[in-house]
Amino acid sequence: MGGATIDVAYAQYPQGSQWQCGQVDRDDSEDPVRRDDLFLPAPREIRVAGVLTTLPGLAAVVFAVVLLVDALLGTTETAGGNSVYGQAFYYALLGAGMVTCGVGLLLGHTWARTPAFVLALIIGGVGWYTTGPSGQPLWGVPILAVAVVLVVLLFRTPSRAWALGEYPEGVDSE
């Protein structure tokens, strides 16, 4: 039984209720995180929706970093003072939320489905505004398409069954 010794501040001895300093032996022969524990069963639609939610989130985080670097280097002129820092924080926070929901879907967690749907609605609004009032259909149509595909993926029959807990445990269509 090979293993590592972990120092702990307190260990309770079985014969009494007294707490004392000691060491605990741990068996490292098995991998502590198994793939089955990390990836829960989910249909392919949910995994693809996870990717479609994560990618815009990563783009928002990168955009926040670019804004922040621009502001720190002084290459961006701001009319109201520190508004660029607020924008960078907003995009970083929004991107982190999107990445969190996307990774949740990729890992098969049902809690991520509703926030991902709300994000799809927001992305759809951005795509609609970019296409129509802003007059930028080259940007707006692809953004709108991502939102529509994301909503369709989240509401397909296997996705709904998965969200209701009716998805078979042994089936994973990765």
What share of the chain has pLDDT > 90, as a percent? 58
What share of the chain has pLDDT > 70, as a percent? 71
Q: Mean per-residue pLDDT for 62-74?
A: 89
The domain ranges of the chain are: 3-30, 36-163
pLDDT of 35 > 50? The answer is yes
Give 96 or 39, the one with higher predicted confidence: 96
What is the tens place of the pLDDT at every residue in 131-170?
Answer: 999 999 999 999 999 999 999 999 999 999 999 988 766 5
Look over the chain and give the mean of its residue pLDDT values, rounded to a whole number: 81
HEC string of the chain?
CCEEEEEEEEEECCCCCCEEEEEEEEECCCCCCCHHHHCCCCCHHHHHHHHHHHHHHHHHHHHHHHHHHHHHHCCCCCCCCCHHHHHHHHHHHHHHHHHHHHHHHHHCCHHHHHHHHHHHHHHHHHHHHHHCCCCCHHHHHHHHHHHHHHHHHHCCHHHHHHHCCCCCCCCCCC
